[in-house]
Structure 1
Amino acid sequence: MTPYSSLYFFVIMGVLLLPVAVLGLRGKRNNYYNMAVTVVLLVLIFSDDFQHLYAFIGYLVWQILLFQVYFRYRKVKNQAFIFTIFMLLALLPLLLDKILPFFHSNSLIGFLGISYITFKSLQMIMDTRDGTIKELSIKDQIAFLVFFPTISSGPIDRYKRFTKDCKNVPPKEEYKELLHDGIHQVFIGLLYKFIIGHLIFTHVISTPYIQYKHLRTDFIYMYAYSLYLFFDFAGYSAFAIGISKIMGVKTPENFNLPFISRNIKDFWNRWHMTLSFWFRDYVYMRFVMWMTKKKWIKNRYTISYLGFTLLFLLMGIWHGLELHYIVYGLYHAFLIISFDLFERKNKKYRFWKKNKFTHAMAVIITFNAVCFGLLIFSGRLFI
């Protein structure tokens, strides 16, 4: 069962979370009960196909063993080599899950949420190597990896922030605010996903007229699909964030009015923020620092542009190996590199002055560029 997809799921989740809210309003928390709730809901999520449940359990054991072994032996002489091996081993299940279907082979290791748990696992290994994580129990690792509100599609939390919330029980007054905000987020999710998103999908995207491929219908589909994708995913994220707050965990926001972005960099600071920040911190920044250290390329702008290309190419491939996902990633790399070149020229020649008119124009241009990217992402242009 897909999380947050049916009234049945919400009713069971609401009943299970009622004791959590009662304890929270008394300034208390029972982590054992919270873990029991997670187990029950995970079984419910995977109840449609127990093969996925077995794959999930096997994957979890794999990642726990990997991290615990790496945590103990990370300081051996050839640390960089050991780090690379463990990163590849942590990434291996996701790679197989993405690659095998491309060759028309069934993946027996895939399950709902494998990508987001893999991001968490890779993050923990990298943070351990950097010294950010100095100690970690198996219990804390499991709690972070299987936190049910965000398991299928994020938002992607950070271990230190998540663990701090889990270990610090909020006082009564603070929990009242969390509970209020959490319930509010759930209702926002209902509005976004089940009302606005549903109306766009039912009355625009799935209509026979839009199914007919033509320049005019492609144009309408581009905007309808972009809005639908936002409201559907932002609605899901609102559910995840809201339920997290009810459990006393302040899961970070995932969307911040992305369609009013004034440029493509601003867009990626507003759209699926936890994913874009994850790739920025754990792919782009590390690639740039590595290339700068190696001094293979001296021009810092060239290094930065290679980093952007790698970042967005990986983001595209992460969605799948189909051509439209790869083109989508390269398209956004082109946009962000082009904007950086434009910004640098503008600082020198001042041909794009900041005022209300240019701000409005920038928002319109960015919105249309983003919508065209999402049209590429949809695969409609490649049919």
Structure 2
Amino acid sequence: MINLQPYENPQYFIYLLVALLPLVIGLYFGKRYKWYEAAISLLFLFFIFDADKWKQGVTLIAYIIYQFAVTFAYQHYRQKTGKANKTWIFCTFVVLAILPLAAVKIWPVVPHKAGIDIGFLGISYLTFKTVQVVMELRDGTIKKVDPITYMRFLLFFPTISSGPIDRYRRFAKDCDKAPEREAYIKDLGLAVKYLFQGFLYKFILGWLFGTYWLPYLEAQAIIAGKGMPLHLSWWVLGVMYCYSMYLFFDFAGYSLFAVSISYFMGIHTPMNFNKPFAAHNIKEFWNRWHMTLSFWFRDFIFMRFTFFAMKKRLIKNRVRLSQIAYIVNFMVMAVWHGITWYYMVYGLYHAFAIIINDIWLRYKKKHKLVKHNKFTEAVAIFVTFNVVCLSFLIFSGFLDNLWFNVPLGK
């Protein structure tokens, strides 16, 4: 059977680009064929959830119906009450929007019959979209959600499985009109560029780091670490760097594919990565790494918690408030990844890394310790890179295997 899971093999792109050709021609001549776009989206969604994944497809349909009910029930309530809507009702709708994803994350740690799966590919990123819409309806930044546009927004197949996470207002501006010809020609150039860059990242560099080198380094780390305290060896350092490179090139390659296909379709899906390993500090890293996710957490977790705590005067000291907000933000992110010790440690690690970074920046500014030059910038990048790579080693779960699944001294 042909594997048509999103961006998993070069054959997928042949079918996809052939299918997109009529849409591309239409956009070139200033026409957007919405019916054809919908048909292509449904076709490739069918390929994702066919065969043994049909149960996930049924779950997706039920999920979309559920989220439509939540979103439009809240929109009706918001329009009926205006600015007088109650906070507890808003919070209830947010919880309802998050509930399916929360159930999927909790399910693995709840005793249940083997083989029963309640999730589907892409549930996390769909939930980010639905929660964002409910929150922006509350804020008034979204006045009204159009059902057809909302359906297209949720089921936009280039990004459905792993992002990038688009925003409804931005998507709505693109999806109803065809771009000007000159602008679309420029988009096609970028689409081709991102497509080939994605092939380089995912199928060459990602394969080298993740498939060719990483298993060997992990095996050597386990062999060399036997009998050593905590099973640590120089091989573990190799695993740390190799996994970090694999994680970046594989995910950045996938994101480039999603952006590329979006541009072919005349939709400007935002970029997800911007040279993250060139960051000078950990906060700058999060402004460059998986940007649509980090900005989503910034806007809808960090800022919301901060405003709530300030309004209720829970924490008077603004420095302490921001520190607690970082911890809340990254612990929510950790739980989203999964309920395991290494995800929790990963979340706390980044929260405290940013807190320490902020303390250092305030201290440096106050005492005027170091002037910026090429040497200090190089040191900052080097330190940040290694701090990040260590966090990815924790995130990978390899230490769980190394320490807890391999008996010490054997």
Give the TM-score normalised by structure 1. 0.97
Among 93, 99, 102, the residue aligned to 2:100: 93
Partner of 1:312: 330
Aligned-partner Cα distance in 1 for 2:213–2:392: 16
Aligned-partner Cα distance in 2 for 1:129–1:354: 43
Aligned-partner Cα distance in 1 for 2:362–2:215: 43
Aligned-partner Cα distance in 2 for 1:211–1:187: 36
Deviations 1:311-343 (A, max 9, x none): 111111111001100100000001000000111
Partner of 2:210: 201
- CA contact 1:144–1:162 (8 Å) conserved in 2: yes
**Aligned alpha-carbon RMSD (Å):** 1.3
Q: Which amino acid aligns with 1:183?
A: V
- CA contact 2:278–2:381 (8 Å) conserved in 1: yes
2:196 pairs with 1:187: yes
Among 263, 270, 283, the residue aligned to 1:245: 263
The offset of 1:168, in angstroms, is 2.8
Identity %: 47
Matches within 5 A, 1:229-378: 229-378=247-396
The offset of 1:299, in angstroms, is 0.3
SS of structure 2 residue aligned to 1:150: coil
The offset of 1:103, in angstroms, is 1.9
Partner of 2:406: none
The offset of 1:174, in angstroms, is 1.1
Deviates most, 133-142 or 261-270? 133-142
Give the TM-score normalised by structure 2. 0.91
Q: Which amino acid aligns with 2:179?
A: P
Aligned-partner Cα distance in 1 for 2:65–2:222: 44
Q: Which amino acid aligns with 1:124?
A: V
2:29 pairs with 1:13: no
Aligned-partner Cα distance in 1 for 2:86–2:325: 24
- CA contact 2:165–2:292 (8 Å) conserved in 1: yes
Structure 1 residues 58 and 293: CA distance shift in structure 2, 3 A: same
- CA contact 2:98–2:127 (8 Å) conserved in 1: yes
The offset of 1:211, in angstroms, is 5.1
Partner of 1:42: 45
Aligned-partner Cα distance in 2 for 1:54–1:230: 32
- CA contact 1:97–1:107 (8 Å) conserved in 2: no
Partner of 1:226: 244
- CA contact 2:301–2:329 (8 Å) conserved in 1: yes
- CA contact 1:100–1:107 (8 Å) conserved in 2: no
SS of structure 1 residue aligned to 2:158: helix
Aligned-partner Cα distance in 2 for 1:348–1:150: 44
Among 65, 68, 72, the residue aligned to 2:69: 65
- CA contact 2:32–2:177 (8 Å) conserved in 1: no
Question: Structure 1 regions of 5+ residues with no counterpart?
Answer: none
Aligned-partner Cα distance in 2 for 1:60–1:109: 14
Partner of 1:102: 109
The offset of 1:8, in angstroms, is 3.4
SS of structure 2 residue aligned to 1:341: helix
Kindly tell me the number of residue pairs found equivalent between the two proteins: 383
Aligned-partner Cα distance in 2 for 1:231–1:211: 25
Partner of 2:228: none
Aligned-partner Cα distance in 2 for 1:317–1:296: 24
The offset of 1:107, in angstroms, is 5.5
Matches within 5 A, 1:210-221: 210=221, 212=223, 213=225, 214-221=232-239
Structure 1 residues 303 and 210: CA distance shift in structure 2, 3 A: same
Deviations 1:326-371 (A, max 9, x none): 1000000010000001111111112232111111100000000000
Deviates most, 171-180 or 208-217? 208-217
Q: Which amino acid aligns with 1:299?
A: N
Aligned-partner Cα distance in 1 for 2:96–2:330: 23
2:26 pairs with 1:26: no
Aligned-partner Cα distance in 2 for 1:210–1:169: 54
Deviates most, 361-370 or 173-182? 173-182
Matches within 5 A, 1:54-203: 54-74=58-78, 75-76=80-81, 79-105=86-112, 108-203=117-212
- CA contact 1:162–1:249 (8 Å) conserved in 2: yes
Deviations 1:105-164 (A, max 9, x none): 365430000000000000000000000111122111111111000001100011100110
Question: Structure 2 regions of 5+ residues with no counterpart?
Answer: 226-231, 402-410
Q: Which amino acid aligns with 2:71?
A: F
Deviates most, 361-370 or 313-322? 313-322
